[in-house]
């Protein structure tokens, strides 16, 4: 290296600065044009804000359809982020008949939508329509975040002895007890009048939910992300499509229906009712001990939204004999939507489902004995 | 120079490492800050005040709007809720119809199977 090299580098940087600045702003300003949720799909059923989509597989190999359920915050397109980086695309390629519940954009008129309505009506009916459309008698449920908790509640709901038509239950970064999370510091205190806020707002604006989520890691979310993008642009390593699709998804925040938000805060950050079996939906008890399906639980080591310790009590509650636990490094969303997931986690999920979706016998474990892999 | 060739950091890399270190420490400090109950109280009170102010502003605009004999947000919400109630009822009726249709189809299948099995 010659003495002039740092000087040459500095001049090169200075010359490239306007170009880099333009590219950087262009990436930020054209984020809305990013393609998100591009896999072809058809509408199977709609009710109020809820829509059930079907992604048909041209190489269908498994008789048991798979129903994907995402959280009540953010959009379910994270399952189908962008071509080449889409869990849905991967699963239909593996031969699964994939359905997806989209909770839509609840507004003030949907303030009366509570967990009762989401579990007992919307999810129950989505399951029904999935079975009707696919001609199957049972399905696999895959929930993510709040969606996973809704799926667990659905399977734990008292049906007077009747079993829900769910063979396999895959739960991704699922909160069960949030009392030790940062959220609990914010909304767990009784002085925070959650009833009043939900009544005033009707449905809690998506922007407020997004702001709260970002405030959990303020420097990372409000600064580091943009700084890293700038460095990527300077080094020529910025991945425009990857950044834009994720940024677009993060910025798309539907409101949280008021009643459901209120119930969620009580359930997760104050009472931990699912642990104690005290939750009641439409006067029917929700007891996780009723869950006897084949269960796959996926936790993320660096999950600050649904920290792993808040999921682990689930294993002590359920009655399933076939329980598997994937514990992986990564964050709440990055675990499943990150670039590493495609190589390792998705094939693992597909393999777990495949073994249990074609009528072959599943490996049996002792009750509550989870395999950690 | 020899140091640099041996893998030691250049001044620019050192500055960058120092900066990243400072940023990482700041991030950790902020995460600890937002995890404190006092911050939670601040956020909760801000949320309550924002919700109340939003509602007051909406109500004020809505009042003005309705006095102009124009449909306001409250009217639209009421209408939407009526539509939702109708849709709920329709959905339940549709499900009943579908299950009856399935039942009839099953019955018909059974009758046809019996007829096919009966010797002529």
Q: What is the pLDDT of residue A7?
A: 79
Q: Is the per-residue pLDDT at B7 higher than 80?
A: no
Q: How far apart are the C-alpha atoms of A315 and A313, rounded to whole Å?
A: 5
Top residue of B4, B13, B47 to mutate, by most chain A CBs within 10 Å, is B47
Sequence-separated (6 or more) residues with CB below 8 Å from residue A280:
A286
| Among B residues 4-63, those touching chain A with beta carbons less than 8 Å apart | 4-5, 10-12, 23, 26-27, 30-31, 34-37, 39-41, 43-44, 47-48, 50-52, 54-55
Sign of the alpha-carbon dihedral angle for A338, A342, A343, A345: positive
Tell whether B109 lies on the interface with A, counting CB pairs under 8 A. Answer: no
Tell whether A12 lies on the interface with B, counting CB pairs under 8 A. Answer: no
Q: Do B40 and A112 touch (CB under 8 A)?
A: no
Q: How far apart are the C-alpha atoms of A341 and A346, rounded to whole Å?
A: 6
Q: Which of B37, B39, B84 is nearest residue A109 as measured by Cβ atoms?
A: B84
> In the beta sheet, which residues pair with residue A297?
A171, A325
Interior angle at CA B106, CA B117 and CA A163, nearest 5: 125
User: pLDDT of chain A along its 373 residues, tens only?
Assistant: 566 677 777 788 888 899 999 999 999 999 999 999 999 999 999 999 999 999 998 888 999 999 999 999 999 999 999 998 999 999 999 999 999 999 999 998 999 999 999 999 999 999 999 999 999 999 999 999 999 999 999 999 999 989 999 999 999 999 999 998 899 989 988 888 999 999 888 899 999 999 999 999 999 999 999 999 999 999 899 999 999 999 999 999 999 999 999 999 999 999 889 999 999 999 999 999 999 999 999 999 989 889 999 999 999 999 999 999 999 988 999 888 888 898 889 999 999 999 999 743 333 333 334 444 4
Helix (H) or strand (E) holding A148: helix A146-156
Distance from CA of A118 to the nearest CA of B (A): 13
Under the banding of pLDDT at 50, 70 and 90, the label for residue B73 is confident
Q: What is the pLDDT of residue A164?
A: 96
Interior angle at CA A240, CA A239 and CA A242, nearest 5: 70
Instruction: Give pLDDT tens digits for B24-39.
Output: 999 999 999 999 989 9
CB pairs under 8 A between A and B: 94
Distance from CA of A9 to the nearest CA of B (A): 11
User: What are the structural domain ranges in chain B?
Assistant: 71-120
Q: What is the pLDDT of residue B70?
A: 86
Q: Do A197 and B47 touch (CB under 8 A)?
A: yes
Residue of A nearest to B98 (CA): A132
Q: Do A191 and B54 touch (CB under 8 A)?
A: no
Tell whether B89 lies on the interface with A, counting CB pairs under 8 A. Answer: no
Residue of A nearest to B39 (CA): A186
DSSP per residue over A155-209, as a string? HHB--TTPPPSEEEEEEES--S--TTSHHHHHH-STTS-HHHHHHHHSSB-HHHH
Q: What is the pLDDT of residue B72?
A: 84
> Quick one: how far is CA B12 from the chain centroid?
44
Under the banding of pLDDT at 50, 70 and 90, the label for residue B71 is confident
Structure tokens at A289: 């001990």
Q: Do B81 and A109 touch (CB under 8 A)?
A: yes
Q: Do B31 and A107 touch (CB under 8 A)?
A: no
Q: Which of B27, B50, B51 is nearest residue A220 as measured by Cβ atoms?
A: B27
> In the beta sheet, which residues pair with residue A355?
none
Q: Which of A107, A186, A217 is nearest residue B27 as measured by Cβ atoms?
A: A217
Q: Which of B34, B95, B98 is nearest residue A182 as measured by Cβ atoms?
A: B34
**Mean pLDDT along residues B85-111:** 93
pTM summary value: 0.88
Sign of the alpha-carbon dihedral angle for A85, A86, A87, A90: negative
| Among A residues 102-131, those touching chain B with beta carbons less than 8 Å apart | 107-110, 112, 121, 125, 128
- What strands lie across the sheet with A98-102, from one edge to the other? A42-47, A50-55, A98-102, A66-69, A139-144, A166-172, A294-300, A323-328, A371-372
Q: Which of B51, B80, B88 is nearest residue A197 as measured by Cβ atoms?
A: B51
Count of other CB atoms within 10 angstroms of residue B2 = 6
Top residue of B15, B34, B74 to mutate, by most chain A CBs within 10 Å, is B34
> φ, ψ for residue A371 (rounded to 5)?
-90, 125
């Amino acid at each position: 290296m010659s003495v002039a090299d740092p000087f040459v580098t500095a001049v090169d940087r200075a010359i490239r600065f306007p170009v880099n600045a333009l590219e950087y702003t262009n990436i930020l300003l054209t984020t809305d044009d990013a393609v998100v949720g591009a896999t072809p799909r058809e509408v199977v059923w709609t009710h109020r804000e809820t829509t059930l989509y079907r992604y048909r597989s041209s190489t269908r190999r498994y008789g048991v359809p798979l129903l994907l359920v995402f959280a009540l915050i953010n959009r379910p397109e994270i399952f189908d982020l962008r071509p080449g980086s889409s869990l849905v695309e991967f699963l239909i390629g593996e031969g699964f008949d994939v359905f997806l519940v989209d909770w839509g954009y609840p507004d003030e008129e949907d303030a009366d939508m509570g967990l009762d309505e989401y579990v007992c009506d919307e999810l129950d009916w989505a399951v029904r329509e999935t079975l009707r459309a696919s001609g199957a008698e049972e399905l696999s449920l895959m929930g993510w975040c709040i969606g996973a908790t809704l799926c667990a509640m659905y399977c734990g709901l008292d049906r007077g002895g009747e079993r829900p038509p769910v063979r396999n239950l895959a739960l991704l970064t699922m909160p069960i007890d949030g009392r030790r999370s940062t959220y609990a510091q914010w909304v767990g205190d009784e002085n925070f009048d959650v009833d009043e806020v939900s009544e005033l707002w009707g449905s809690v604006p998506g922007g407020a939910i997004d702001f709260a989520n970002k405030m959990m890691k303020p420097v990372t979310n409000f600064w580091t992300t943009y700084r890293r993008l700038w460095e990527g642009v300077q080094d020529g390593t910025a991945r425009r499509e990857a950044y834009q699709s994720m940024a677009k998804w993060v910025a798309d925040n539907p409101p949280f229906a008021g009643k459901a938000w209120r119930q969620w805060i009580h359930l997760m950050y104050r009472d931990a009712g699912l642990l104690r079996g005290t939750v009641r939906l439409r006067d029917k008890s929700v007891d996780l001990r009723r869950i006897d399906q084949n269960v796959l639980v996926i936790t993320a080591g660096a999950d600050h939204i649904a920290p792993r310790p808040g999921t682990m009590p689930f294993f002590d509650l359920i009655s399933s004999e076939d329980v598997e636990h994937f514990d992986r490094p990564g964050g709440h969303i990055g675990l499943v939507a990150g670039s590493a997931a495609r190589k390792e986690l998705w094939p693992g999920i597909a393999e777990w489902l495949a073994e249990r979706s074609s009528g072959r016998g599943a490996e049996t474990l002792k009750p509550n004995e989870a395999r950690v892999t | 120079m020899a140091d640099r060739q041996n893998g030691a950091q250049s001044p620019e890399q050192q500055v960058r490492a120092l900066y990243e270190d400072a940023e990482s420490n700041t991030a950790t400090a902020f995460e600890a800050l937002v995890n404190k109950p006092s911050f939670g109280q601040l956020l909760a009170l801000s949320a309550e005040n924002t919700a109340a102010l939003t509602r007051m502003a909406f109500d004020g605009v809505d009042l003005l709007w309705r006095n102009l004999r124009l449909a306001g947000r409250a009217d639209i919400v009421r209408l939407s809720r009526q539509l939702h109630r109708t849709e709920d009822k329709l959905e339940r009726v549709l499900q009943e119809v579908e299950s009856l249709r399935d039942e009839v189809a099953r019955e018909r299948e059974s009758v046809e199977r019996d007829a096919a099995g009966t010797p002529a």
